[in-house]
Amino acid sequence: MNAWGKKAANEADAITVASSTAMRTVSHAQFVSVHENPVHCPGMTRSLEAEKQPGATPPPPQRPLAHAESATPQSLSTYTSPMRGLLLAGGHGSRLGPLSVATSKQLLPVYDKPLIFYPLSTLMIAGVREILVIVAPRDLSAVQALLGNGAALGISITYAVQDEPRGIADALVIARDFIEDEPVCLILGDNVLFGSGLGQMLRSLSPLGCATVFAIESLEPQNYAVVTLSEDGTPVNIVEKPTHPDSRWIVPGLYFYPPDSATRALELATSPRGELEITDLNRDYMSCGQLSVVKLPRGTYWIDAGTPESLAEAGQFVSLHFRRTGLSVACPEEVAFRMGWVSAGTVGEASVRYRGSIYGDYLKSLTQA
């Protein structure tokens, strides 16, 4: 397991943390003091004890890192999360047929890069450096050819196969030997998540001693898992694709779990559609008072790019952002560079690999800044 490294910088954006026993709004100035009376998840207080030792020197404030950030590499301390990462890129991609008949949907383009770069970058900005990518058997060689072993990104990437789609929670079962006794961050391979300060927020939450899901408002909550919160912010229910949603708050495909997640997933009953449902796992944690809900900051962009419409929308968003700002969204080489995991020379080598493309030109510009 990689060393913890230095603690992540204090959160720059306000976040709302709701658990089944407490709910607090955390800001840049409040983050350390709130942890003196933290959300009551088993193990969380223990994980924060080192920060409260007498004479301990807090880390200096640092700039937030989103997927694209104009900061110099020196603006961030090298940071490694204690979490291990799971990137679920299996399934048949049936909603994208016939596009997905001959290739993995995670290899389809979202503007200038394949879809899988987006969830990979999210794991990286969270500080996760040990990642297991779970793929369908037919896609293994293609995904390996694209990502390799992760050395060029300063991370470790290994692979596992999911023979048939058996639900999101099945990823935890497949990865149980990889997870061992460590906390884990699970992300879906078709999720695009972007926002200013997102990396800071994820690193500041890593890891909690309980399960953590995220929430974002949607105009179409009936298409997703909907979380209902009480007046004080306590999560009281999570329902998968309800006909009549009680809330507009939905749960995107990003989850933080404690080390017992694989064991709990193994104990889940199979749903009527023959899958291990991630919502059932989250409800299990909630019923034990071990679920925390974090509302993503206002303005955060999230999309499930698993349909032709949403895949096209994601591409339009990334294209517009790049053309207006000159900054790339979800460039793994840039994230690794900004995090201090690789050198400018390594990024330069990647730019040669992709020379003649928009992506290659962007990487080249990073080494000349």
24-43 pLDDT tens trace: 333 332 222 223 333 445 43
Please report the pLDDT score of residue 73 as a whole number: 41
Structure confidence by residue, pLDDT tens digits, 224-260: 999 999 888 889 999 999 999 999 999 999 999 999 9
Name the percent of the chain lying above pLDDT 90: 71
Residue 116 lies in a domain: yes
Residue 316 lies in a domain: yes
Please report the pLDDT score of residue 22 as a whole number: 36
Residue 243 lies in a domain: no
What's the structural domain count of the chain?
Answer: 1
Residue 82 lies in a domain: yes
Cβ neighbours around 336 below 10 Å, total: 24
Q: What pairing do the DSSP bridges indicate for beta strands 130-135 and 156-161?
A: parallel
CA atoms of 325 and 257, how far apart (whole Å): 35
CA atoms of 299 and 290, how far apart (whole Å): 28
Residue 215 lies in a domain: no
Alpha-carbon distances, residue 228 vs 80, 192, 234, 299 (angstroms): 33, 23, 8, 21
Residue 218 lies in a domain: no
Question: 101 lies in which domain range?
Answer: 1-207+253-343
Please report the pLDDT score of residue 93 as a whole number: 87
Q: Which secondary structure element, helix H or strand E, spans residue 145, and what is its range?
A: helix 140-147
Please report the pLDDT score of residue 272 as a whole number: 92
Residue 367 lies in a domain: no
CA atoms of 224 and 218, how far apart (whole Å): 9
Q: Domain of 74: which CATH number?
A: 3.90.550.10
Low-confidence ranges of the chain (pLDDT < 70): 1-77, 206-208, 369
Residue 226 lies in a domain: no
Please report the pLDDT score of residue 234 as a whole number: 84
Please report the pLDDT score of residue 285 as a whole number: 96
